Amino acid sequence: MRASFMSMLAMGTAVALGAPAPSRVSQMVKKSTVCTFNSAASASASKSSCNTIVLDNIEVPAGETLDLTDLKSGTKVIFNGETTFGYEEWDGPMIEISGSNIIVSGTSNHTINGGGERWWDGEGTNGGKTKPKFFYAHSLDDSTITGLNIKNTPVQAFSVESDNLILNSITIDDSDGDANGGHNTDGFDVGESTGVTISNAVVRNQDDCLAVNSGTNIVFTGGTCSGGHGLSIGSVGGRSDNTVKNVTITNSVVKDSENGIRIKTNSGTTGSVSGVTFSNIQISGITDYGIVFEQDYENGDPTGTPTDGVPITDLTVESITGTVESDATDIYILCASGACSDWTWSDVSVTGGSTSDECENVPSGASC
Ligand SMILES: *[C@@H]1O[C@H](CO)[C@@H](O)[C@H](O)[C@H]1NC(C)=O
Ligand SMILES: *[C@@H]1O[C@H](CO)[C@@H](O)[C@H](O)[C@H]1NC(C)=O
């Protein structure tokens, strides 16, 4: 296949599919060029001459990115067969795609296998081996990623920094990491983005299913999260962008996870969390908190002392139902004085654990 694509290029031929009728204005016939690649290097080298890029059983060399950045507008990227990656300690990313009006998908027989077990050591990004980030969707604007099957990411799966990006029906299965030291295997980390919709994701991992650190007009819907830390906003504060605004997390299931839904803000920092809605979320098998909103994080851990620099306002929590484990806490809210307001709270039923007696400054309407 590699030889045939290269010889096709050498002969200057292209496959024309579905060429549109000539336009009256230009009389130009646009050719749709389908390129099938069997190596990451050839895909990166020739990416700009293809309308459709088929990545066929690619083995990405150790320490290299499958680089599909700056694709031309309208490019389709299709993964086929098994995509694998060589082993090296490095930061990644293993895959990076950028451009506008890009459609990324996979055939019915594809898996993108990060081979994370070679890096997993129980330490994630806190130490041990240097582990590559998996997929950067940065400046992938007005675009869609749909139907990808992803397995065993070394650490975080998707880093999303894009405008108007749809991520639909993506499966991330890091379940092998449960017994083998998978850690910090976040599903979707969203930051500095406007207009991101993540629908019908299935995430089986060992950290946040979703973490929104900053961004506006973000939707997560129809998701199934298990094994990890739940659906999170934050931690917010202390980054270059510290505004979270208009985020809807809805119609989802969180099971066998540390938390159900969560907002955490960093102490001593500034920013804002406003217009967040959590609705219609079923939780079960939760080991820490069913619902947890706290303004006291520092270096990744709660301090117990909330600060008011990142207020949480206009929060809606509705139809959050289910159970936590008996040694877990149903609901925990730790706000600084005056830093949580305009909360709407309805049909919340989280049971099975203990009732916290450490909640502070709970705004009217909500309850611990
Ligand atoms: C699916 O992809 C795998 C990995 O490349 C390959 O071994 C297998 O033959 C493919 N199956 C079909 C039905 O094409
Ligand atoms: C909030 O985000 C949603 C999803 O992008 C969008 O449809 C809606 O218009 C936004 N609301 C406001 C007030 O901007």
Residue nearest atom 13 of ligand 2, based on CA coordinates: 246
Q: From the CA of 56, which ligand is nearest?
A: 1
pLDDT per residue as tens digits for the range 46-64: 999 999 999 999 999 999 9
Amino acid 25: pLDDT: 37
Is any ligand 2 atom within 6 A of the Cβ of residue 275?
Answer: no
Mean pLDDT on 145-149: 98
Report the alpha-carbon distance of residue 46 to residue 10 in Å, rounded.
12
pLDDT per residue as tens digits for the range 236-258: 999 999 999 999 999 999 999 99
Is any ligand 2 atom within 6 A of the Cβ of residue 253?
Answer: no
Report the alpha-carbon distance of residue 266 to residue 310 in Å, rounded.
8
Residue nearest atom 7 of ligand 1, based on CA coordinates: 81
User: Is the pLDDT reported for residue 16 higher than 50?
Assistant: no
Report the alpha-carbon distance of residue 23 to residue 72 in Å, rounded.
21
Amino acid 30: pLDDT: 55
Amino acid 26: pLDDT: 39
Report the alpha-carbon distance of residue 222 to residue 97 in Å, rounded.
25
Q: How far is the CA of 195 from the centre of ligand 2 (A)?
A: 8
Amino acid 28: pLDDT: 46
Mean pLDDT on 66-77: 98
pLDDT per residue as tens digits for the range 255-306: 999 999 999 999 999 999 999 999 999 999 999 999 999 999 999 999 999 9
Report the alpha-carbon distance of residue 211 to residue 231 in Å, rounded.
7
pLDDT per residue as tens digits for the range 97-140: 999 999 999 999 999 999 999 999 999 999 999 999 999 999 99
Q: pTM to 2 decimals? A: 0.92
Residue 183 annotated in active site? no
Is any ligand 2 atom within 6 A of the Cβ of residue 246?
Answer: yes
pLDDT per residue as tens digits for the range 313-363: 999 999 999 999 999 999 999 999 999 999 999 999 999 999 999 999 999
Report the alpha-carbon distance of residue 349 to residue 323 in Å, rounded.
8
pLDDT band at 19 (very low <50, low <70, confident <90, very high): very low
Residue 57 CA, closest ligand 1 atom number: 5
pLDDT band at 74 (very low <50, low <70, confident <90, very high): very high
Amino acid 24: pLDDT: 41
Domains and CATH numbers, the chain: 56-351 (2.160.20.10)
Is any ligand 2 atom within 6 A of the Cβ of residue 217?
Answer: yes
pLDDT per residue as tens digits for the range 29-44: 456 799 999 999 999 9
Q: Cis link prior to 235 (omega < 30° from 0)?
A: yes
Q: How far is the CA of 59 from the centre of ligand 1 (A)?
A: 15
Amino acid 142: pLDDT: 98
Instruction: Mention every residue, 6+ apart, whose C-beta is less than 8 A from residue 267.
Output: 237, 295, 296, 297, 298, 303, 305, 306, 307, 309
Amino acid 9: pLDDT: 37
Longest Cα pair distance anywhere in the chain, in angstroms? 75
